[in-house]
Structure 1
Amino acid sequence: MPLTFTFDPPVTPALRDGLLDLWTDVTNAGGAVGFVPTVTREEVRPALVTHFVAMAEGRARLLVGHDEEGRVAAAAFLTFNTHRLMTHWVWLYTVMVHPRHQGRGHGRDLLAAAEEAARGLGGVEAIRLTCRGGLGLERFYASCGYKEVGRVPGAIRVAPGDDRDDVIMLLPLT
């Protein structure tokens, strides 16, 4: 079943809890979304609140995918640049598909919905994201049209002695 995507959904307690569950479950399944396993909802909560604050201030927008049961199954945040010379592109942060929905093309669907949302913002010419090296994520993003435009070796310390590259990817919209 396809996911149903909503851009800028109302932030309700159910959405908040769904996002917390999604972020926690993705991390604990080994997803590279700002944490390393094992995390709890309470450890993830401050990061989600930071995104909500950015949304309230108009600096970020939320894209959510719900499954056929109405559960939060995917999400990503589009964040505007504050630097006056970089307002023509947006960041894509915290790109997540719940482990129970992976392998069904929902990641591609999420990225396509993010691209559509960015095109609708007006004046946005590209989407930029970073991903953790060593997991094959850059191949996935490349298969969705993103191009690797930079790499910072060892910039992400997952654990002592386990440093990963910070891979910078770009999707031109023009």
Structure 2
Amino acid sequence: MNKRRGMSLIELLIALSIVAVLSIAITALLQAGARTSAYLRDTGEAQNEVELAVRRIVHNVRNCASLTVPSGTSAGTTFSVVTQADPANNMATYNITYTLATLPNGTRELQETDPRYGTSSLIGDVQSFSVRTQYATTPVVVLFTISAGRQGATPINRTFRVTPRNMN
């Protein structure tokens, strides 16, 4: 009987070629998965930041005593609201300002400045932010447009209108 105990050089080279092709395919699959994961993470973070900022802005504008917003068709990147008098704090009011700020590294973020809490970053990697009044007459309607997300990624865009309820 003729029993072969080993592999020939040709068989070994074919086996190595198959393993190499499979390794390349698996590596490409893992890299694609990592890119997809990073894209979904970045998009999810941008979406969460935008939604939380929208809620905060809507709440403050709806409940403000007064506001300063660019009017007409020329939109601005800064606006401020004055809160209702706080009965728990000697009827104090607070001027809250929202500004599109450019950081030293060139990225832009939407910042909220509240004298009670200082300056906070609401949204990082803002591509654009604009605010203006929609109508020149009452009721006052404020129109906001936000676009955020990392450069090169699909931006998260939100346009929303807010009508203050409690303006004096």
TM interval, short-chain normalised: under 0.3
Question: Max radius of gyration: which structure?
Answer: 2
Given the two structures, how large is their TM-score scaled by the length of structure 2?
0.27
